Amino acid sequence: MKQYKAFVVVNLNLGILLIALSRVILPVCRGGMRCGTSATVDAALGLALLVIAVLAAGFPKKSAHLVLSALALVVGVFTTLVPTVIVGTCPHAHMACHTITAPVLAITGAVIALYAAVNLVYLKLRRRNEQYEL
């Protein structure tokens, strides 16, 4: 499987997973609490990751994939920071959104960022090697 196809498939799956985690699977408080806002923002970031994957499917050029990998890296970093630093969750340590949801979303964001960073490095090395082969 070519690199760009793997990038598209993995980001589609991670985007769907992020949306499912934040809207369906993980518990969050309803009614204007910070954890509900955090889950909504992470679902929007999952949607952004889906858009990145669709754009990557439409643009198989390496230069476009460099930009899209960088964008996926930013999405992963923000996914990690939203439930932990930017928005946060309930301040009560015994709440499920504080003990379960925030760590799972932070780890998911770290996986997204790590995959995007590895893909970005791979593309940069491949691009550099192609320049030396000419």
Q: Which two tokens stand for residue 110?
A: 């770290």
Number of domains in the chain: 1
The pLDDT tens digits of the residues spanning 46-90 come to: 999 999 999 998 887 878 889 999 999 999 999 999 988 988 888
Please report the pLDDT score of residue 123 as a whole number: 87
Separation in Å, CA 104 to CA 11, 43, 111: 18, 13, 11
Question: pLDDT above 90 covers what percent of the chain?
Answer: 47
Cβ-proximal residues to 22 (8 Å cutoff; 6+ apart), any chain:
28, 39, 40, 42, 43, 46, 101, 105
79/43 Cα distance (integer angstroms): 9
pTM for the model stands at: 0.90
Distance of CA 73 to the CA centre of its chain: 7
Structural domain including 45 reads: 3-133
